[in-house]
Amino acid sequence: MKLMECMTKTRAATLGMKVREAMQVCVDYDCPGIPFVDESGKLIGRFSIRHTFYQHCIPADLIKHAHLLGNGIDNIEMEDHYTDDFMKLPASDFMLDQIIHLRPDSQIVKALALMEQFNTSYLFVVDDKEHYLGLVTHQSIARHLLEE
């Protein structure tokens, strides 16, 4: 099976986009991240919801001791003004340089192997000039296999 058979076309993030807009694209297309593209559509980075939360919303000590926290924690909360300010930040502040991508005629098994190698649940599909075409996720591959 070829990658293009289970590719999902999404919007991409562009420089100047805010966190709120980038997250909305991820939610709209049910994907964990989207690419950053330049004016010509060429990949320059990626926006990941997980990475963005990690970088801005979760204190390092909380991550380290998360297993010790009980279920009844009521005093650790993000204040509304903090959330509003966070959502207005430039999405490019959280842009990752590592871009995992394949061509549309690549085999699905290669995509799955790369996702495991780089511990990610998605990768981008690009043309010969590295212009973004869409993305592939574990879910899109599973959906395609179920439809076969």
The predicted model scores a pTM of 0.80
Q: How far apart are CA 6 and CA 51, in angstroms?
A: 25
Give the position of tokens 């010790």. Answer: 68
Give per-residue pLDDT as tens, 41-95: 889 999 999 888 877 655 555 556 556 566 655 555 555 566 788 889 999 999 9
**HEC secondary structure over 20-44:** HHHHHHHHHCCCCEEEEECCCCEEE
Specify the DSSP element, H or E, that contains 63. helix 60-64
pLDDT in tens, 95-126: 999 899 999 999 999 999 999 999 999 999 99
Sheet holding 13-14, edge to edge: 13-14, 33-37, 43-48
Hey, which residues does 135 pair with through a beta bridge? 8, 124
The residues near 108 (Cβ < 8 Å, ≥ 6 apart) are 1, 2, 3, 5, 6, 136, 141, 144
- List domains and CATH numbers for the chain: 3-147 (3.10.580.10)
